[in-house]
C-alpha cells in the first residue's frame, strides 16, 4: 500500500469515527483557549479542565488576568506541572496582550509565537481552533501515530507536521489533528497498541508482525 493510500484510509476511517470532534480543552474565548493550551504542555487535558475554572473565574480576559498576582496563578495551576514557568508566562503574555495587542489574541503565527510560553504547537492550536486558519498541530501522540501508520519517518514533530501537510488537504487539517488525538486515546495509545493491534495499524500494515518502533519526537 502506498503512503497516499494509507492517508486516504486513515482519513476515511477517522471521518467515520469522529465526524465532529470537539475541542478537548474547555474555553470560552480565544484567550482562555490560549491559556488552556499553554497549560496542557506535559499535562493531560482532563487535569487542565479541572484547574481552569478557578483560574478563569479570576481572569477570563487579558485585562483581568494581567491584574492577578503571579503567585495566585501559580497556586491555582500547580497540579498542571511546570507551574512556576507556566504561571510566569500566563502573567507576562496577558500584560503583553494588553500593552501591545489591544487586549486581543493576535491572529498570526509570528505574533503568537513571540508570546512567553507559546511555541509553534500552541500557536497552531489557537490559529486552527480559535480563528479557523488551517494548521496541523503535532504533539508527541500524533507524531507516534503518524509513524505507526507509515505517514512519516520524521525524527521530530516539525518534520512530521510537514509530511502530514503534504499528504492531507488543508481543508481537513483542523479536524484531522483532533480526530487523530481522539483515535489515539481510544484505540492506539502508547501502551494499548504497538503498531500491530488497532484497526488502522492493522489496515495500513496487515503483514506487520513486530512492534513499530517510534522515532523520538
Kindly write down the DSSP assignment for every residue of 121-135, as one continuous string: HHHHHHHHHTT----
CATH number at residue 198: 1.10.1670.10
Q: Which of 126, 92, 89 lies closest to 109 in space, CA to CA? A: 126
pLDDT for 113: 98
Looking at the fold, whether 163 and 197 belong to one and the same domain comes out as yes
DSSP state of 81: S
pLDDT for 217: 61
**Residue 164 phi, psi dihedral angles, 5° rounding:** -65, -35
Looking at the fold, whether 34 and 111 belong to one and the same domain comes out as yes
Contact indicator for 83, 117 with CB cutoff of 8 Å: no
Contact indicator for 160, 121 with CB cutoff of 8 Å: no
From 101, 129, 157, give the residue that closes a domain. Answer: 129
Q: Which of 26, 88, 139, 166 is catalytic?
A: 139
Q: How many domains would you assign to the chain?
A: 2
Q: Which of 26, 121, 163, 210 is catalytic?
A: 121
Looking at the fold, whether 74 and 91 belong to one and the same domain comes out as yes
Tens of pLDDT along the chain (217 residues)? 899 999 999 999 999 999 999 999 999 999 999 999 999 998 999 999 999 999 999 999 999 999 999 999 999 999 999 999 999 999 999 999 999 999 999 999 999 999 999 999 999 999 999 999 999 999 888 999 999 999 999 889 999 999 999 999 999 999 999 999 999 999 999 899 999 999 999 999 999 999 998 887 6
Residue 3 known to be catalytic: no
From 96, 129, 162, give the residue that closes a domain. Answer: 129
Contact indicator for 37, 75 with CB cutoff of 8 Å: no
pLDDT for 154: 84
Looking at the fold, whether 43 and 114 belong to one and the same domain comes out as yes
pLDDT for 7: 98
Domain range holding 81? 30-129
Residue 121 known to be catalytic: yes
User: Rounded to the nearest 10 degrees, what angle do helices 30-39 and 45-58 cross at?
Assistant: 130
CATH number at residue 122: 1.10.340.30
Looking at the fold, whether 60 and 112 belong to one and the same domain comes out as yes
pLDDT for 214: 82
How confident is the model over 40-65, as pLDDT tens digits? 998 999 999 999 999 999 999 999 99
Looking at the fold, whether 84 and 115 belong to one and the same domain comes out as yes
From 89, 113, 129, give the residue that closes a domain. Answer: 129
Amino acid at each position: 500500500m502506498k503512503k497516499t493510500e494509507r492517508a486516504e484510509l486513515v482519513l476515511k476511517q477517522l471521518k467515520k469515527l469522529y465526524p465532529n470532534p470537539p475541542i478537548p480543552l474547555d474555553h470560552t474565548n480565544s484567550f482562555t483557549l490560549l491559556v488552556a493550551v499553554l497549560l496542557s504542555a506535559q499535562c493531560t487535558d482532563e487535569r487542565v479542565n479541572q484547574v481552569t475554572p478557578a483560574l478563569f473565574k479570576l481572569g477570563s480576559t487579558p485585562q483581568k488576568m494581567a491584574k492577578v498576582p503571579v503567585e495566585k496563578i501559580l497556586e491555582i495551576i500547580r497540579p498542571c506541572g511546570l507551574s512556576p514557568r507556566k504561571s510566569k508566562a500566563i502573567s507576562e503574555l496577558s500584560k503583553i496582550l494588553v500593552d501591545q495587542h489591544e487586549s486581543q489574541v493576535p491572529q498570526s503565527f509570528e505574533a503568537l509565537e513571540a508570546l512567553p510560553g507559546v511555541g509553534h504547537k500552541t500557536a497552531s492550536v489557537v490559529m486552527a481552533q480559535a480563528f479557523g486558519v488551517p494548521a496541523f498541530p503535532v504533539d508527541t501522540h500524533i507524531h507516534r501515530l503518524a509513524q505507526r501508520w507509515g505517514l512519516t519517518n520524521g525524527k521530530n514533530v516539525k518534520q512530521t507536521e510537514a509530511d502530514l501537510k503534504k499528504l492531507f488537504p488543508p481543508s481537513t487539517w483542523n479536524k484531522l489533528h483532533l480526530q487523530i488525538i481522539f483515535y489515539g486515546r481510544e484505540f492506539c495509545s502508547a501502551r494499548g497498541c504497538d503498531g500491530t493491534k488497532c484497526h488502522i495499524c492493522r489496515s495500513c500494515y496487515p503483514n506487520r508482525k513486530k512492534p513499530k518502533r517510534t522515532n523520538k519526537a
